[in-house]
Structure 1
Amino acid sequence: MSSFTLREAASRSQTSAGRIRRQRHPLAFTLAAIAAAVVLLPIVTVIIVALSGSGADWPHLARYVLPRSALITFWMLALVSVGAGVVGVGCAWLVVAYDFPGRRILSWALVLPLAVPPYLAAYAFAEFLDFVGPVQSTIRALFGFERPGDYWFPDIRSTIGAAIVMVAVTYPYVYLTVRVVFLMQGRNIADVARTLGAAPSRVFRRILLPVARPAIAAGLSLALMETLNDIGAVQHLGVRTLTLSVYTTWLNRGSLEGAAQIAVLMLALVALLLLAEQLARRRQRFHVARATQMKARPPRTPLSGWRGFGAALIGLVPIMAGFGVPLLIFGRYAINRLHQASDPALAKAFMTTVSVAFAAALIAVITALLLIYVAHLVRSRAVTLLVRLAAIGYALPGTILALGMLISLARLDNFIDALARDYAGFSTGLLLTGSATAVVLVCAIRFLALADGAIRSGLAKLPPHLDEAARSLGRSASASAYSTLLPLLKPAILTGGILVFVDTAKELSATILLRPFGFNTLATFVYENASRGAVEEGALAALLIIATSIVPVILLSGPLTRDRDA
């Protein structure tokens, strides 16, 4: 009797759960569709403007702008691919395969350059390698040179120089993805190869490197999208990429149509990068080892003496290039300008940054929670597709999103103004265009994927049918989510909010295109000073950006020093 009662109760529970899953949620589906539509609106707008224009600017763009800009962009992407790949893979192999003094510190310190936005790195490198900078000053002091013509020194203001700057701050993307593969998948197969007599270099070249190719492709796709998004670094170093061409065509030539046409070409390039990354992910497979094996310390070759010192020095070089040089330059300038801490302009830029970043983080987190719960609730292919589309903004350059959002908001403002003129007899003017609202919306759209990833990761750690159990006891969908899931997801929500806040605080490409007159964030504050040749005047703001951006690195530093949690 007891056994029958248990089976009957289980059957009723399964029937109830099935009924819950089969329920229709038209409101949830509508909200997901609206969120996806808002994200796709700037992209669709750019494409429509590019295709529906008169094409008057196309001959000029095709002859004088696109060939040179496209060639420079492809050349720079190729250089960053090679540089970030070599540095990222090399550093990952170094800290995983060898044991030397300082290895544990280097394993997490190699991520520090992610705290430095590319435009800050470009400003710092230009000052560091300038004629009056510390490097050339030391060379002149040592060899007695007096004029630039007395010796040759490489020019950082070039395509190769810009690529070096981008490699210095984007190699951690490759380092992080490849290091995980070396630790989780490559550990056992490398041990087997070594027991068969293979030398470490042969194991790395013939076994581990092919295994890590998908991870390398995934890390490189992030580095290349960051390179394609950058506008501050390439403008400061005088490198005319496609992103900079969108900016100059729009503002200098006053051609919105021409800028949209270049943006469509960039969209095609981004699509190719995403396709390459997805193909790499399909080939990526991980062998999950047993728990006791995963907690075992990975075997490493001990290095001592000059070999250990050399290994530590090799790992230190990229850290000093991507993090040390900016910290040195801006720190030296800031020490001599501590009085600027009370500058009203800097204080206003700081408060604007905090306000915009907080608003974008709040919108992104709420939207991510909504989309994730809708996908969890409805579980249909259509909703899954909408949720994925809503997170595509992170793959798009901020310049494209800013251009599309400006056009969309301008048309909305014109529509509202026309209605007000026709029915109320007055003009509303521009309500949204050129306002802080546009900046917040673009940042929320672009960084929605960060909040989505963090919250989705937290949800994956919870029991799969936790909210269904609460709903089977009579709770509604919203009540069960609020009382059951939301409290358990607080750490993941906080992490997602922090990630969006930090990336918004250092965002430049979209902000300089959408900001209203007199609107400055810390990023645009530094940009304005650098544009007029006074990088030192923005040193304190630059240090504030770096200090803010280092928060995610601190969140990563713990797991990176414990191989079993990598």
Structure 2
Amino acid sequence: MILGLTRSWSLAGYVITAILLLPLLALIVQATLPDEAVFSHLFNTVLPTYIFNSLILMLLVGLGSLIIALPAAWFIARCEFPGRRYFQWLLLLPLAMPAYIVAYVYTDMLDYAGPVQRALRAWFEWQTPHDYYFPAIRSIGGAAIVLSLVLFPYIYLLARTAFMEQSSNLLHASKVMGCGPWRSFWRLALPMARPALAVGVALVAMETAADFATVSYFAVPTLTTAVYDTWLGYGSLTAAAKLSAIMLLVVFCMVGVERFARRKQQLFQKQARLDESDRYHLTAVKAWTAWGYCIGLLTLSFLLPFAILCGYAVDYFAESWDIRFWQYSLNSLYIAAIVSAVCVVLAVVLMFLRRVSPRSSDHLASRLSSTGYALPGTVLAIGVLVPLTYIDFAINDVMDWMGAQGPGLLFTGSIFTLIFAFCVRFVAIAIGSLENSYKRISPSLDMASITLGQSPMQLLRRVHLPLLRKGMFAGALLVFIESMKELPAALLLRPIGFENLATYVFQFVSDEKLEHGALAAIVIVMVGLIPLIYLNRSLEQSH
């Protein structure tokens, strides 16, 4: 720790934290204001349904993702079978596929007029819907299945890592005691992986709570769609803020319950590198069962939707390849580039402050800056719009008082609002990436720099930044991709006439014309594959 750290660094950290917390504080203040009876009407009519649907959907997606991710994680981590080396990174690909695109593809396939039901009617000579029963894809169950197929890699990745990091000595001991693969998994590996599984389920539940496009397309009323409809339909920002506060309460309660459940759980195990001799070598039927499960899961969650997208893109290439596609692609690229650069700079300042400052308040500032990632996009949009609208009006009032013409909607009428919202939400990703990189830098380097008379700025520039380049690149890359994919905040905060690839594709999905936006959707997916490949390479190097 550097005791001679100048106050300017601490002040910079406090200012950054205050700016990043401004949307959350503004949202809480706005939620305490009275409204024009809109919230009371919602509370007495549809709000219980919104809350019930949100909780049920989170439960179904969490359980569904856990059920389909666990076998895949165990096969990859502890078993040897044909294709295991490739499946360990291929099963991460669904994260690159936006859920609402998968929702459209499966709805188009499984709806009454889709090819599956048409084939069933032709084969069995059914004439009307009364002749047979087929589950409704546009339902809360259908939304849960689609979201589970897209979000299960969160649990798969954490569970796979947990299984791989479990001591091989414990596995050998279980074999000596007569435990086969199933008993070893159920009695030893699964309980030890519980912390990772709890974190994974919590992440999936929060992503489910934040989803807007999928539930909107399936016409499932949740708190996320309620915020959107209340703001744009009823025109009540205060009522939307109250609903957003309820969503925040649900999210924070989930995080609290997950941590409370693990408060007394401690695992102590001697780490031992896992090699091929420690894995169960599957043969014959068992090997093909593991292969079939992995390829089936990969096909349903990524290969099939992506292949259909490619087919759409080829068939409608002439309609898609136009000036709008290029303009919206450039909009997405430069917004994402600005956001990733700003987030990395902010993360460097906050993490450097946490690294070298002896004050606990400086450490708290950097941790509070990450809370924006817990805000769903619709909630974040409310929190961002409230203070920036107030600032816009204040600037115009001052200009009018001075006898000059005001600038109008300086912030809320430009892309600044969108960039600010993305930075608030995604700076946590850059902070997390740099935090992992800082753990690999020995404190002795800091002490040596102090001994040589280096200032904090010189320490950062000459020692830390060269060693943080890999973490900074990873953080910038992840923020870039998340900014390309973010939809709810972009829908609500984009200036009039401004579109990016995410909003462009969603408009086609809403109009049941994804075929015309398939090329843009493929760009989003392909860009999303970059950090997944990078992540897998990093994991392979660490194991």
Shorter-normalised TM-score: what interval?
Answer: over 0.9
Query: Does structure 1 residue 190 correspond to structure 2 residue 167?
Result: no
In the alignment, residue 49 of structure 2 is paired with which amino acid? R
Match 1:428 to one of 382, 401, 407: 407
Aligned residues: 543
Q: 1-side partners of 2:264 and 2:114: how far apart? A: 47
Which residue of structure 1 lines up, in the alignment, with residue 15 of structure 2? 34
CA RMSD of aligned residues (A): 1.9
How far residue 283 of structure 1 moved from its aligned partner, in angstroms, is: 5.0
Which residue of structure 2 lines up, in the alignment, with residue 267 of structure 1? 248
How far residue 79 of structure 1 moved from its aligned partner, in angstroms, is: 0.5
Match 2:496 to one of 517, 532, 535: 517
1:29-83 Cα distance to aligned partner (Å, 9 max, x none):
1111111111211111111111122462232111122100001011111101211
Aligned 8 A contact 2:35 2:239 in 1 = no
Alignment of 1:233-272 (within 5 A): 233-272=214-253
Aligned 8 A contact 1:125 1:325 in 2 = no
How far residue 408 of structure 1 moved from its aligned partner, in angstroms, is: 1.0
Query: Does structure 1 residue 352 correspond to structure 2 residue 331?
Result: yes
Query: Does structure 1 residue 111 correspond to structure 2 residue 88?
Result: no
Aligned 8 A contact 1:42 1:401 in 2 = yes
Which residue of structure 2 lines up, in the alignment, with residue 11 of structure 1? none
Using a 3 Å threshold, how does the CA distance of structure 1 residues 54 and 524 change in structure 2: closer, same or farther? Answer: closer
Q: 1-side partners of 2:269 and 2:82: how far apart? A: 30
Alignment of 1:415-494 (within 5 A): 415-494=394-473
Match 2:46 to one of 65, 68, 71: 65
How far residue 145 of structure 1 moved from its aligned partner, in angstroms, is: 4.0
Match 1:276 to one of 240, 248, 257: 257
Which residue of structure 2 lines up, in the alignment, with residue 14 of structure 1? none
Which residue of structure 1 lines up, in the alignment, with residue 376 of structure 2? 397
Query: Does structure 1 residue 302 correspond to structure 2 residue 272?
Result: no
Aligned 8 A contact 1:435 1:514 in 2 = no
Match 1:320 to one of 299, 308, 317: 299
Using a 3 Å threshold, how does the CA distance of structure 1 residues 303 and 297 change in structure 2: closer, same or farther? Answer: closer
Which residue of structure 2 lines up, in the alignment, with residue 565 of structure 1? 542
Match 2:158 to one of 161, 165, 177: 177
Which residue of structure 1 lines up, in the alignment, with residue 341 of structure 2? 362
In the alignment, residue 384 of structure 1 is paired with which amino acid? H
Q: 2-side partners of 1:476 and 1:390: how far apart? A: 25
Using a 3 Å threshold, how does the CA distance of structure 1 residues 424 and 282 change in structure 2: closer, same or farther? Answer: farther
Q: 1-side partners of 2:246 and 2:412: how far apart? A: 25
Match 2:77 to one of 96, 110, 125: 96
Aligned 8 A contact 2:35 2:236 in 1 = no
1:509-564 Cα distance to aligned partner (Å, 9 max, x none):
1110101111111100011111122111111111111001111111123355x4x8
Which residue of structure 2 lines up, in the alignment, with residue 4 of structure 1? none
How far residue 170 of structure 1 moved from its aligned partner, in angstroms, is: 0.8
In the alignment, residue 222 of structure 2 is paired with which amino acid? T
268-277 or 42-51: bigger deviation: 268-277
Aligned 8 A contact 2:96 2:525 in 1 = yes
433-442 or 335-344: bigger deviation: 335-344
1:79-116 Cα distance to aligned partner (Å, 9 max, x none):
01211111122211122232221111112211111111
Q: 1-side partners of 2:119 and 2:537: how far apart? A: 38
Query: Does structure 1 residue 159 correspond to structure 2 residue 140?
Result: yes
59-68 or 403-412: bigger deviation: 59-68
Q: 1-side partners of 2:453 and 2:190: how far apart? A: 54
Aligned 8 A contact 1:186 1:211 in 2 = no
Match 2:531 to one of 552, 558, 561: 552
1:400-456 Cα distance to aligned partner (Å, 9 max, x none):
111110111100001111111111332221100132111111111111111111112
Normalising by structure 2, what TM-score? 0.96
SS at match of 2:135: coil
Using a 3 Å threshold, how does the CA distance of structure 1 residues 93 and 176 change in structure 2: closer, same or farther? Answer: same
Query: Does structure 1 residue 504 correspond to structure 2 residue 483?
Result: yes
Which residue of structure 1 lines up, in the alignment, with residue 31 of structure 2? 50
Structure 1: gaps of 5 or more residues: 1-19
Using a 3 Å threshold, how does the CA distance of structure 1 residues 103 and 239 change in structure 2: closer, same or farther? Answer: same
Aligned 8 A contact 1:340 1:346 in 2 = no
Aligned 8 A contact 1:127 1:329 in 2 = no
Alignment of 1:133-152 (within 5 A): 133-145=114-126, 147-152=128-133
Q: 2-side partners of 1:147 and 1:54: how far apart? A: 49
Using a 3 Å threshold, how does the CA distance of structure 1 residues 316 and 162 change in structure 2: closer, same or farther? Answer: same
SS at match of 1:484: helix
How far residue 466 of structure 1 moved from its aligned partner, in angstroms, is: 1.9
Q: 1-side partners of 2:328 and 2:342: how far apart? A: 21
SS at match of 1:294: coil
Q: 1-side partners of 2:315 and 2:199: how far apart? A: 42
In the alignment, residue 311 of structure 2 is paired with which amino acid? R
Using a 3 Å threshold, how does the CA distance of structure 1 residues 298 and 85 change in structure 2: closer, same or farther? Answer: farther
Using a 3 Å threshold, how does the CA distance of structure 1 residues 25 and 493 change in structure 2: closer, same or farther? Answer: same
How far residue 231 of structure 1 moved from its aligned partner, in angstroms, is: 0.4
Q: Percent identity?
A: 34
In the alignment, residue 158 of structure 1 is paired with which amino acid? S
In the alignment, residue 110 of structure 2 is paired with which amino acid? L
Q: 2-side partners of 1:358 and 1:171: how far apart? A: 28
Using a 3 Å threshold, how does the CA distance of structure 1 residues 284 and 365 change in structure 2: closer, same or farther? Answer: farther
Query: Does structure 1 residue 203 correspond to structure 2 residue 188?
Result: no
Q: 2-side partners of 1:424 and 1:274: how far apart? A: 51
In the alignment, residue 493 of structure 2 is paired with which amino acid? L
In the alignment, residue 97 of structure 1 is paired with which amino acid? R
476-485 or 73-82: bigger deviation: 476-485
How far residue 288 of structure 1 moved from its aligned partner, in angstroms, is: 5.7
Q: 1-side partners of 2:451 and 2:107: how far apart? A: 63
Normalising by structure 1, what TM-score? 0.92
SS at match of 1:470: helix
How far residue 188 of structure 1 moved from its aligned partner, in angstroms, is: 3.0
Which residue of structure 1 lines up, in the alignment, with residue 310 of structure 2? 331
In the alignment, residue 521 of structure 1 is paired with which amino acid? N
Aligned 8 A contact 1:181 1:215 in 2 = yes
Aligned 8 A contact 1:249 1:258 in 2 = yes
How far residue 298 of structure 1 moved from its aligned partner, in angstroms, is: 5.7
Aligned 8 A contact 1:225 1:396 in 2 = no
1:202-232 Cα distance to aligned partner (Å, 9 max, x none):
2222222221111111001111111111100
Aligned 8 A contact 2:320 2:516 in 1 = no
Match 1:120 to one of 101, 116, 141: 101
In the alignment, residue 542 of structure 2 is paired with which amino acid? D
Using a 3 Å threshold, how does the CA distance of structure 1 residues 285 and 521 change in structure 2: closer, same or farther? Answer: farther
How far residue 480 of structure 1 moved from its aligned partner, in angstroms, is: 2.2
Q: 2-side partners of 1:305 and 1:143: how far apart? A: 36
Query: Does structure 1 residue 75 correspond to structure 2 residue 75?
Result: no
Aligned 8 A contact 2:505 2:514 in 1 = yes
